[in-house]
Each structure stands twice: as structure tokens, then as C-alpha cells.
């Protein structure tokens, strides 16, 4: 099953299986996908104190829109804060904007896997009628217009997964690192092929397949590696979306022409999102070299 990275099914059986909390959702979006299914769902990992960032995303690239008769919607993935008052604030925000997906697990960096699984579960359960899903982080600038253009050119809506591909990733064994992984957590010396966790896109059937298979895969705290393990088990290969790079895990300095031909740029502040999006919209009819 994991022959390409030296992982055997017998070895996996020896690893502990972690079953995430499957309780009902605390908050869910106000959408009925049976009546008007979106073509693309953008899931943004967020946390309690990123209210300004969520507002900036709602006003810019995350705003619901229709592109070539295809609907795009954006939802925010949140865990539970440690204080009751913070939970109440999220509940009020959810009532106001109706775009939050939340379950009862502690909102920490090492629970990003749970947060992503929550998003997959919601799509699988409540919106399997959609065509594509994008998972991204809250400090990303996303160009949904160019993403839609590229997805429509692919003319394919099954067994598709793309992003910033990483084919030769290895576990970090330095305990001082944020991405430290012990031999007990992951005994092998090479990760499966994966994408940067900052942003990746997949067809909705893959969301359902990953949701189902995730119950059989040993839990792993690094979200993009866990997703890579699920894809390896499902024998779904990652593909480039375009012949040129369009998913950038680093920051790309803004210029209208450059941002027209990218899907993501990383480490963007809420203020910059507003400025960049305004600049992009303002120059939409200008010619580029």
C-alpha cells in the first residue's frame, strides 16, 4: 500500500489508530447544496483571534461569487477555544455570517489534522454535490478567478488532487523544531508524496474518499503528511495544475500582472489582502506584458 515510501500494511497495523471526536458540529454554514450546489468550496483554517483576517477574506477573495456560471463559496474551519466567552463570540459571528464550520476539539497547531478532517467530513456529509474543494490557510492570498480558469481547462472532476507538490520530504528529528517528529510517531525516514499544507485543491470525490479512509489511517499531527498518507492508501496521485508554478508557499510581492497568474501567495496580512484585491480588480482590464 505504501511501497513507494517503504511503509507496509503490516507495519501500519502496529501503529495506534486515533479516532477523532465525531460529535455533532457546533457551528455549520447556512447552505443547502441539494438546491444550489457550489462548484468550488474554499475551506480556510482559522482560529478565534483572527476576526480581522476573516473579515478581510470575506470582503476580498473569499466573497461568494459566480464565475462562468460556476458558484464559489468560502467557509472557515475552527476548533473550540479554551474560554467560554471566546466560544460565545464565535457563535455570534457564525450567526451573523453563516460561514463557520466548528467542532469540539482544542484549537491548536497540532490539531490542524483534526480541523482538516472536520472540513472533509462536512463536505462529505452536507455538500457532496460540489465539484472541487480547496483547503487553505488564513494568511494566504487566493486568486479564485485564475483557479477557476485552470480547473475548467482541466475538464476533470474525479480523482484529482493538486497543490505545491513535495515528492522528497523527510521527517524533522530536531526536538527544537516546530515540525519535530519522533521515531515513535513516525519510524520511517521518508514521507509520502504530499503537498504543502498552506493550500491544495482536490475534487469532491477525493474529499469523501479521504474522509472514509481517514478512520483507518494512523493519526498523524502534521496535516499535510496525514493527507499524503490517505492519498497513498487510495492510490491517488498528485498532479500539477499548470505547466508553470501557481501555488506559492512563500510570499510573492504584489503586482497586478503577477497576481493575475497565480493561485496563492503566502504570508499576507489582512490589510494587504484588501490592498492587493483592490489592485487586482482595478487593473483587470489592463494589458500585461
Report the alpha-carbon distance of residue 128 to residue 113 in Å, rounded: 21
Between the alpha carbon of residue 103 and those of residues 92, 108, 114, 126, 224, the distances in Å are 15, 13, 9, 15, 20
Largest CA distance in the chain: 59
pTM score: 0.90
Residue 38 domain flag: yes
* Domain range for 229: 3-242
Residue 49 domain flag: yes
Residue with cell 525516514: 189
Report yes or no: 67 and 145 within 8 Å, Cβ to Cβ.
yes
Give the pLDDT confidence score for residue 21 in this predicted structure: 41
Report yes or no: 43 and 120 within 8 Å, Cβ to Cβ.
no
Please, what is the end-to-end C-alpha distance for the chain in angstroms?
Answer: 47
Give the pLDDT confidence score for residue 93 in this predicted structure: 96
Residue 282 domain flag: no
Residue 156 domain flag: yes
Looking up residue 120, the CATH number of its domain turns out to be 3.90.550
Residue with cell 498532479: 239
Give the pLDDT confidence score for residue 12 in this predicted structure: 40
Residue 103 domain flag: yes
User: What is the residue-level pLDDT of the chain in tens, covering all 289 positions?
Assistant: 333 344 443 344 444 333 444 458 999 999 999 998 999 999 999 999 999 999 999 999 999 999 999 999 999 999 987 766 677 889 999 999 999 999 999 898 889 999 999 999 999 999 999 999 999 999 999 999 999 999 999 888 899 999 999 888 899 999 999 999 999 999 999 999 999 999 999 999 999 999 999 999 999 999 999 999 999 999 999 999 999 999 999 999 999 999 999 999 999 999 999 999 999 999 888 888 7
Residue 157 domain flag: yes
**Number of domains making up the chain:** 1
Report the alpha-carbon distance of residue 255 to residue 8 in Å, rounded: 47
Residue 211 domain flag: yes
Residues 96/99/105/110 CA torsion (nearest 10 deg) = -130
158 φψ region: left (φ > 0), alpha (ψ -120 to 50), beta (else): beta
Residue 289 domain flag: no
Give the pLDDT confidence score for residue 6 in this predicted structure: 42
Report the alpha-carbon distance of residue 159 to residue 136 in Å, rounded: 19
User: Three-class SS string for the chain?
Assistant: CEHHHCECHHHHHCCCCCCCCCCCCCECCCCCCCCCCCCEEEEEECCCCCHHHHHHHHHCCCCCEEECCEEEEEEEEEEECCCHHHHHHHHHHHHHHCCEEEEEEECCHHHHHHHHHHHHHHHHHHCCCCCEEEEEECCCEECHHHHHHHHHHHCCCCCCEEEEEECCCCCECCCCCCCECCCCCCCCCCCCCEEEEEEEEEEHHHHHHHHHHCCCCCCCCCHHHHHHHHHHHHCCCCECCCCCCCECCCCCCCCHHHHHCCCEECCCCHHHHHHHHHHHHHCCCCCCC
CA angle centred on 256, ends 255 and 260, rounded to 5°:
115
Report yes or no: 48 and 79 within 8 Å, Cβ to Cβ.
no
Amino acid at each position: 500500500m505504501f511501497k513507494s515510501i517503504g511503509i507496509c500494511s503490516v507495519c501500519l497495523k502496529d501503529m495506534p489508530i486515533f479516532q477523532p471526536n465525531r460529535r455533532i458540529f457546533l457551528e455549520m454554514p447556512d447552505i443547502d447544496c441539494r438546491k444550489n450546489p457550489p462548484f468550488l468550496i474554499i475551506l480556510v483554517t482559522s482560529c478565534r483571534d483572527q476576526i480581522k483576517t476573516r473579515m478581510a477574506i470575506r470582503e476580498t477573495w473569499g466573497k461568494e461569487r459566480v464565475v462562468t456560471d460556476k458558484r464559489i463559496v468560502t467557509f472557515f474551519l475552527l476548533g473550540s477555544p479554551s474560554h467560554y466567552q471566546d466560544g460565545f463570540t464565535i457563535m455570534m459571528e457564525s450567526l451573523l455570517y453563516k460561514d463557520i464550520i466548528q467542532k469540539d476539539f482544542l484549537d491548536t497547531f497540532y490539531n490542524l489534522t483534526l480541523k482538516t478532517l472536520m472540513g472533509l467530513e462536512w463536505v462529505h456529509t452536507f455538500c457532496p454535490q460540489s465539484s472541487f474543494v480547496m483547503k487553505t490557510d488564513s494568511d494566504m492570498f487566493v486568486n479564485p478567478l485564475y483557479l477557476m480558469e485552470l480547473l475548467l481547462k482541466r475538464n476533470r472532476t474525479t480523482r484529482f488532487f493538486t497543490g505545491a507538490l513535495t515528492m522528497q520530504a523527510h521527517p524533522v528529528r530536531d526536538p527544537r523544531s516546530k515540525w519535530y517528529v519522533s521515531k515513535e510517531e513516525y519510524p520511517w525516514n521518508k514521507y509520502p508524496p504530499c503537498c504543502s499544507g498552506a493550500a491544495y485543491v482536490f475534487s469532491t470525490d477525493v474529499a469523501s474518499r479521504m474522509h472514509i479512509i481517514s478512520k483507518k489511517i494512523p493519526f498523524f499531527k502534521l496535516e499535510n503528511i496525514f493527507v499524503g498518507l490517505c492519498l497513498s492508501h487510495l492510490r491517488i496521485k498528485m498532479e500539477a495544475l499548470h505547466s508553470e508554478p501557481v501555488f506559492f508557499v512563500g510570499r510573492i510581492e504584489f503586482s497586478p500582472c503577477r497576481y493575475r497568474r497565480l493561485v496563492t501567495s503566502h504570508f499576507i496580512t489582512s490589510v494587504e489582502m484588501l490592498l492587493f484585491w483592490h489592485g487586482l480588480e482595478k487593473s483587470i482590464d489592463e494589458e500585461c506584458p
